[in-house]
Amino acid sequence: METMAYAVAVLSFLFFLVSLHGLVGRRRSKTTAGKNKPPSPPAIPVLGHLHLLRKPVHASLARLAMRHGPVLSLRLGSRGAVVVSSAAAARECFTAHDVAFATRPRFAAMDLVAFGGTTLPTCAYGPYWRNLRRAATVHLLSARHVGRMLSGVVAAEARAAARRMHRAAAAVPGGAARVELKRRLFDLVLSALMEAVAGTRAARGEGSAEVDMSPEAHEFKETIDVMASLVGATNLWDYFPLLRWFDVLGVKTKIMAAVRRRDAFLQRLIDAERQRLEFDAGSDRGEESMIAVMLSLQKSEPEMYTDTVIMSLCSSMFSAGTETTATAAEWAMSLLLNHPEVLKKAQAEIDATVGSSRLLGAADVPRLGYLQCVVTEALRLYPAVPLLVPHESAADCTVGGHHVPSGTMLLVNAYAIHRDPVAWADPDAFRPERFEGGAAGGAAAEAFLIPFGMGRRKCPGENLALRTLELVLGTLIQCFDWDTVAGAEVDMAQGAAGLTLPRASPLEAMCTPRRGMLAVLQQL
């Protein structure tokens, strides 16, 4: 009897959902009657088109766009969405309708991660966002501050990473060390950001030269990995509000556990910097950390720069800066390993420009044109956030001749746009030369690169990310010869995480110190 009652309850609940879906669908049809809606594949009750979003989601959406067109309408559970997969439509969204698409959709799972949706990437468009954006661009990511970060902490961490890899290679027979690059790259970027943001360095114990990730980086990466896997375009918790009542999948429990660890990590950094400021009051501390700048602003604008706001800005810097930058560098190294002729060409440019008597620095990067082309081409093929951060229409508008109603989620498939055969010759090929000489790299009207977004919600950390990628990759290329493990080609399979585009498996490679750089490496 209990089993029968449970089955009846489940069937009744499903019948209720189907009926509700029908009512909502009829109401939407009446609202948009007579308007040119974007094409849409057949949907099924309740789920809508969620069943079509196989992982990786950006690839599924690219296939749907090939069948139904570059402006595609989807219903994801209770949400309406429009997917844009062409340069022309994306330009229209971020120019003619930039204000209309300047806000963000609210996701229950994302709100848990993003301090109730109040971080710079996730908050609604308005005065609060303008204040955060001003703090980021004027006080944290200004050209002066970024320049000092690159020439100071980023360059120092790149040197430290090169030193550790040199020592690891020297410790094995043959002088070629097998390294897992993602862990080392993540540690490098996080360590640089920790010093720039919080004025502290990642701790390493005695004899830890061969350790590829500090305890702080390991702790933070664990929380990032958990949150990234639970926040994304196919998290059913965000598309069926009723699921939140039961949390049968344990989504909220897992997210909150990771959030508590992250918040404790960030609060320790803020408290430590506050104590240092109080102890060093009146003395010249040199270049201030980002937290120190915000704590100073807190005194003049306490209602704006609360500890929670400072924590949210730090979280945005760490989350956006570490995972995406490390992932982009890992994809770039994967491409270089599979294209040794490109690697040799990049090495030759560095040798001719910088030489072998010193490590390259931030001031050298603007003169390394081919290295910049390598980074640009890697970001074209593997944008770290392939669907960008979702937008939402705040007003009715028209995209590609199709009506998009207010409240519609906008997904811009940068991955598909970057590989559009109309825009790019041989679009799936890794060919940095397509960007040499300042060329757009493709058909003038269609070549369109947006790995950092576009418009007023474009990532404010673009310049820092690009220069960091170029400096880190340049250091690894200058100091070491690289080869694949056992001579096998690197598998370029993509992972299926939430917002980002990770590799399916971490990249491992063999690094051998270059003979001409041994004297420099031995002095690091």
Q: How far is CA 33 from the centre of its chain?
A: 38
**Which residues are within 8 A (CB) of 65 and not within 5 positions of it... i.e. 6 or more apart?**
72, 83, 85, 86, 413, 416
H helix or E strand, kind and range, residue 509: strand 508-513
Spatial separation of the C-alpha atoms in residues 399 and 160, rounded to whole Å? 49
Please tell me whether 397 is known to bind a ligand: no
DSSP H helical ranges for 280-361: 290-300, 307-338, 340-353
**Nearest residue to 365 (alpha-carbon basis) of 53, 147, 170, 142:** 147
Spatial separation of the C-alpha atoms in residues 234 and 70, rounded to whole Å? 21
In 380-432, beta strands by DSSP E = 391-392, 397-399, 402-404, 409-412
Bridge pairing between strands 71-76 and 391-392? unpaired
Secondary structure of residue 44 in the 3-state scheme: strand
Amino acid, res. 176: A
Q: Residue 417, class by beta-carbon neighbours within 10 Å (0-12 exposed, 13-18 middle, 19+ buried)?
A: buried
H helix or E strand, kind and range, residue 84: strand 79-84
Bridge pairing between strands 79-84 and 409-412? parallel
**Binding region:** 459
**Binding region for heme:** 459
